[in-house]
């Protein structure tokens, strides 16, 4: 693919990422995506011949990988899992505040909207959450937790983070994130 074509494709994916996180699957119309991506409608079908689901799938995949990379990168400098969870919470809360609470988790809205009706997008959401959970579990194992204990504990920590993001976005406040920070410490006995 030519450089200009790849740039257009990337703009469309990034526009879809933003719109789907802010408005959800059903609120991110193709007209809005092409407008936000500064691309003609024909290029949408050229780059995503299977339509909206293909575009959203690729947007979710990129968003999921970005958060997984964030967790892994923060893990490299965090002294322990508790500090990692706090750093993740801070990074996501800062991101949410900078967006005026229009953003939270880049996967959650779509997962809630279509998990029961769209197997392909449900699988992408599940894979993203699985990657994040594995990154947390890897860190827990590195901190000395048994692998089976780390597995469940990582899911619990991820559920705390996800719940905090939903509540913080709904309340337009960091308070739920601060409360989850305390709960994560208690769960990890830090």
pLDDT of 5 reads 77
pLDDT of 1 reads 58
The band of 190, judged by pLDDT with boundaries at 50, 70 and 90, is low
pLDDT of 71 reads 97
pLDDT 10s digits, 49-83: 999 999 999 999 999 999 999 999 999 999 999 99
pLDDT at 3 over 90: no
DSSP state of 80: S
pLDDT 10s digits, 140-171: 999 999 999 999 999 999 999 999 999 999 99
Walk me through the domains of the chain, giving residue ranges and CATH numbers: 54-188 (1.10.357.10)
What integer is the mean pLDDT of 174-182?
A: 94
* Gap between the Cα atoms of 158 and 137, Å rounded: 10
The band of 87, judged by pLDDT with boundaries at 50, 70 and 90, is very high
pLDDT 10s digits, 99-129: 999 998 999 999 999 989 999 999 999 999 9
Tokens of 174: 């960091």
The pTM of this model reads: 0.93
pLDDT of 115 reads 86
For the chain, the straight-line distance linking the first and the last C-alpha, in angstroms and rounded, comes to 50
The band of 97, judged by pLDDT with boundaries at 50, 70 and 90, is very high
Tokens of 128: 């993203």
- Residue pair 24/110 in contact (Cβ under 8 Å)? The answer is yes
C-alpha dist (Å) from residue 27 to 18, 23, 34, 66, 160 = 11, 5, 14, 22, 26
């Amino acid at each position: 693919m030519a450089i200009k074509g790849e740039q257009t494709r990337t703009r469309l994916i990034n526009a879809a990422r933003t719109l789907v996180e802010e408005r959800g699957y059903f609120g991110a119309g193709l007209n809005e995506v092409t407008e936000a991506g500064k691309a003609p409608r024909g290029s949408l079908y050229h780059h995503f011949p299977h339509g909206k689901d293909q575009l959203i799938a690729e947007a979710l995949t990129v968003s999921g990988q970005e958060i997984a990379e964030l967790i892994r990168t923060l893990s490299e400098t965090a002294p322990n899992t508790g500090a990692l969870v706090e750093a993740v919470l801070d990074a996501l809360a800062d991101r949410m505040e900078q967006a005026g609470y229009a953003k939270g988790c880049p996967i959650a809205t779509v997962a809630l909207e279509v998990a029961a009706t769209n197997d392909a997008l449900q699988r992408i959401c599940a894979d993203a959450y699985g990657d994040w959970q594995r990154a947390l579990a890897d860190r827990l194992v590195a901190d000395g937790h048994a692998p089976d204990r780390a597995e469940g504990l990582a899911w619990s920590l991820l559920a705390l983070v996800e719940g905090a993001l939903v509540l913080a976005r709904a309340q337009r406040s960091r308070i739920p994130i601060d409360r989850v920070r305390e709960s994560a410490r208690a769960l990890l006995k830090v």
